[in-house]
Structure 1
Amino acid sequence: MKAQQRRVWISSYLGTTIEYYDFLLYGSAAALVFGPVFFSQLSPLLGTIVALATLAAGYVARFAGAVIFGHYGDRLGRKKVMLVTMVTMGLCSGFIGLIPSYAAIGVAAPLVLVVLRLIQGLAVGGEYGGAVLMASEHAGVRRRGLAASAATMGAPSGAVIATGAMTLVATMDREALLSWGWRVPFIASFLLLALGLWFRARIEESPVFLADVARETAPVQRRSPIVELLRDHGGTVTKAVVVQLASYTGQGVFGVFLVSYAPPLGYAPPLVLLTIMIGTLGSVFTTPVYAALSDRIGRKAVLIFGTVANGLVAYPLFLLINSGVTAVFVISVIVYLCFFMTPVTSVSAVMLSELFPTEVRYTGVSASYQLAQTVGSGLGPLIAASLLAAAGGTDTTLIAVYIGVLAILSLAVLLRMKETAGTSLRSTAADPTPDVDSAQPPVGA
């Protein structure tokens, strides 16, 4: 079983890395080349705006993907859905690299681009929940947090690889970049897809799913998972989203909003991007550390630390950023991304899987995560920019207060939640089979 667990962890990590590479690669390309390639009939500024609008469309589709793929993941199995999401994302990204320009086929080019982007959003919306569940449902109670962190590590890994790939091709001369250079990272998705499928096809279906759902001796009439989730577990979904808000908002503010806020302070844009990329890469290594710690001391302790840290460091972090000292800026942002943002993002994955019963777990994990991502990382930069404008364009106090208020809300919910570490993921009372490796004592024993 240990060999199978390792295979599952590698599959979850690689799958999520590839999916987020494909999804986030689009963002760099949208800002860099999609305007002149697919919207050349518009002015350069308007073309860039429209290209970024297609980027936003993918984020809107993520929640829909969480519901759609969550439905089938809870009904048909985790593995089947994960294979579908990986193939869908890989093919869409590869095909984006093959779309002729607007100059070649006219309005069909941007239309195909938007359609593929929407399908990408659907796929990535269903990927995360499946990757988390396959890892956590194959693991024993003693190492479930560490196992689930494999999926969490994939998102920043994919972001770093995507940023690095587009940075590399951006060094080409403008004509080569626009004609074929930008296409290379997208077409490479076909190769990454083959690699991911090789690992993912060799893993076994979740033993928890097989025990609780697939092995039912009599058919059970159930509502749609999303209906059942909202009707019977709506409060849990709300709590799960609120618990993650402060951290994901901090991620959006100090990982995205900072790209536009820092340059006017005297920091070169390449330095800002490099700093964020280093901090993101560092979070890949601190994620399993915090996740493993949660296996030893409990989920709540790590989540509370991360939530309180986000609320307390926001204001002093802005003071350090506003200092104008390059070394202070670089160190403070990297430290935040590695050590203060990561406790919640690393543990929320396994915490979500322990909050929902098997029959709605895929939908619950996916929907809760995507909602928190949308409100936190998605709307966070926009809200931060609006608060900055309301304060005259220079005072970041309101932004820090906003993060602090979210931290208070998250903390209030956390303090009322029960500890989930060490609990069984099995929902079927009639099935006495314990979790994998559950003969080992739970956390705190």
Structure 2
Amino acid sequence: MTTTSTPRRAAAAAFIGTTIEFYDFYIYAFAAALVLGPLFFPGDDPVLSTMAAFGTFAVGFIARPFAGLIFGHLGDRLGRKKMLLFTMVLMGLATAGIGLLPTYAQAGIWGPIGLVALRFLQGISVGGEWGGAVLMASEHAPKRRKVFFASFAQWGSPAGLLLALIAFRAISSMDQESMMTWGWRVPFLMSAVLMLVGLFIRFGVPESPEFAEVKENKQTVKNPVLDVIRGHWRQILFAAAAVTIGSAGFFFTNTFMITYVTQYQGISRSTILDCLFLVTVLQFISQPCSALLSERLGTGRFLTAVATLCILVPYPMFLLVQTGNLFYMTAGITLAVVLLSALYAVIAGYMAEAFPPQVRYSGISIAYQLCCALTGGMTPLVGTWLAGHFAGQWWPLALFFSFLALLSLIGVLGLARLRATPHENRSIARPEVAIP
């Protein structure tokens, strides 16, 4: 039986689980920006070396749509909890494996091949994790609090980023030789310990009551992925567009920005890491506040306003970053991150309500992972290319950020229109058992 404490436990488990998953994902992002290029893709041109490292970063995003299809199907068939336990084990093993990999100097081409393979497994894990974490939190929640409780899964992103920043800030204080020899491995190896903590917490949370009801009433569908694509493809496309700036924007500010300020503005690595740490602390504080505010204002209205502001925010951000001053840099990036994280906090629960429970895991997973594959993984690559092609000019980068935010605004407006139509009036997934 579900008790009044179960929604809180489910939200806490979603938060802690996604914190660990995103820690694993973000430490790869930082490693790609700081060390993986010379270690696994040595060359005379540092820009090409960095782009090669970011290419392996993008591999994790290419894997995520496949994971959305696979785990969406299994999550709608077998349950949310089983998928969350499996993805946590997969992520922990893949991340710890990266920490044990030989470099190019030690193993030649097998080092980069192993890196790409393990990065692909990281992408599979995150691609399957996200939808289940959101649904375990939202489907346990009271009816009018689903968006807020779903935001706890999103809250794991800044928490994981804080852990990753602390880890890489610690090793960045090492001398260059020690960091490049063994120090970079430590954050990856820590994942094995975090995996055990996450498994212990998730075992204690029961299956989602909404899925349990679907299962009990024999309303699961045989092919949820096919059914959701056939009957809810518009929701998938608009949801994928809506989450764009909430996904790609973080990798713009937290991954590409490290490369931009260190390689093109001569700002020290420790300075930008300190800046991002302060920004992420403020994001961690503001994100649940944004979810609460959206409940008061109305989620559709709130998301429309935030997406519009995200179109405008990169211009003051870059003007402040150009100063090279830690205070002004922090203020500029914080302004952008607080806005895009406000959308990110709310969009998960908003998306989930656009799909019926029989195909909900599949629907939100396909939408979110499609967005991540098309925009999230490519954002640092596109940003690095723009910065190199338009050296000394920030406005092409700002326009790129605005374009990502415009996609989110279009998606939010389209999703709002579709959500206004009750599920029973749409193409509902067919039950697995035939009705005579």
Bucket of the pairwise TM-score, normalised by the shorter protein: 0.7 to 0.9
- Asked whether the 8 Å contact 1:67–1:226 carries over to 2, the reply is yes
**Amino acid corresponding to residue 100 of structure 2 in structure 1:** L
Provide the rounded CA distance (Å) in 2 between the counterparts of 1:100 and 1:389.
30
**2:28 aligned to which of 15, 26, 29:** 26
**Alignment match, 2:283:** 283
Distance 1:232 1:278, change over 3 A: same
- Give matches, 1:224-235, under 5 Å: 225-235=224-234
Q: 1:443 aligns to what?
A: none
Structure 1 residues 359 and 38: alpha-carbon distance in aligned structure 2, compared to 1, 3 A threshold: same
Q: Match of 1:393?
A: 391
Q: CA deviation at 1:3?
A: 2.2
Distance in 1, Cα, partners of 2:370 & 2:38? 33
Identity of aligned residues (%): 37
Does the 8 Å CA contact 2:33/2:256 hold for their aligned counterparts?
no
Which residues of 2 match residues 8-407 of structure 1 at below 5 A? Answer: 8-34=10-36, 38=40, 45=46, 50-101=52-103, 107-212=109-214, 214-217=215-218, 222-223=222-223, 225-263=224-262, 264-265=264-265, 267-323=267-323, 326-338=326-338, 340-384=339-383, 392-407=390-405
Q: Supply the AA of the counterpart residue of 1:185.
A: P
How far apart, CA to CA, are the structure 2 residues paired with 1:105 and 1:389? 31
Could you say if the C-alpha distance between residues 379 and 424 of structure 1 is closer, same or farther in structure 2, counting changes exceeding 3 Å?
Answer: same
Q: Provide structure 2 residue ranges, at least 5 long, that are not aligned to the other structure.
A: 432-436
> What CA distance in whole angstroms lies between the structure 2 residues aligned with 1:50 and 1:235?
35
* SS of residue paired to 2:5: helix
Cα deviation digits, residues 128-153 of structure 1 (max 9, x gap): 11100000000012322221111101
**Alpha-carbon distance between aligned partners in 2 of 1:142 and 1:399, rounded to the nearest angstrom:** 39
User: With structure 1 as the length reference, what TM-score do the two structures score?
Assistant: 0.84
Residues 80 and 208 in structure 2, CA contact (< 8 A), matched pair in contact too: yes
SS of the residue 2:197 aligns to: helix
CA RMSD of aligned residues (A): 3.2
Structure 1: segments with no counterpart, 5+ residues: 431-445
**Which residue of 2 is the match for residue 414 of structure 1?**
412
More displaced 10-residue stretch of structure 1: 19-28 or 301-310: 19-28
Shift of 1:10: 1.5
2: distance between equivalents of 1:174 and 1:266? 17
Report how far residue 409 of structure 1 moved. 5.0
User: What is the rounded CA distance, in whole Å, between the counterparts of 1:314 and 1:50 in structure 2?
Assistant: 26
For 2:434, the equivalent position in structure 1 comes to none
Q: Is the 8 A contact 1:143 1:292 kept in 2?
A: no
Measure the CA separation in 2 of the matches of 1:369 and 1:121: 13
Letter in 2 for 1:296: R
- The answer to whether the 8 Å contact 1:144/1:295 transfers is no
Letter in 2 for 1:341: L
Residue 262 of structure 1 aligns to a residue whose secondary structure is helix
Q: Within 2, Cα distance between the matches of 1:52 and 1:383?
A: 10
Q: Are residues 336 and 33 of structure 1, via their aligned partners in 2, closer, same or farther at CA, if it must alter by over 3 Å?
A: closer
Aligned-partner Cα distance in 1 for 2:87–2:221: 27
Tell me the distance in 1 between the aligned counterparts of 2:176 and 2:385.
34
Q: Secondary structure at the match of 1:84?
A: helix
Give the structure-2-normalised TM-score.
Answer: 0.85
In the TM superposition, residue 64 of structure 1 has moved relative to its aligned partner by 1.4
| 1:205 shift after superposition | 0.4
> C-alpha deviations, 1:418-438, integer Å up to 9, x for none?
4969x999x8999xxxxxxxx
**Residue identity matched to 1:8:** A
1:19–1:158 CA contact under 8 A, matched in 2: yes
Q: Distance in 2 between matches of 1:388 and 1:35?
A: 17
Give the partner amino acid of 2:78: L
Q: In 2, distance between residues paired with 1:396 and 1:36? A: 26
Alignment CA distance shift 1:55-1:379 (3 Å): closer
Amino acid in the other structure paired with 1:216: N
Contact between 2:318 and 2:332, CA under 8 Å: does it hold in 1?
no
One-letter identity of the residue aligned with 1:393 = A
Count of residue pairs the alignment pairs up = 422
Secondary structure of the residue that 1:2 maps to in structure 2?
coil
Q: How many Å apart are 1:88 and its aligned residue?
A: 0.7
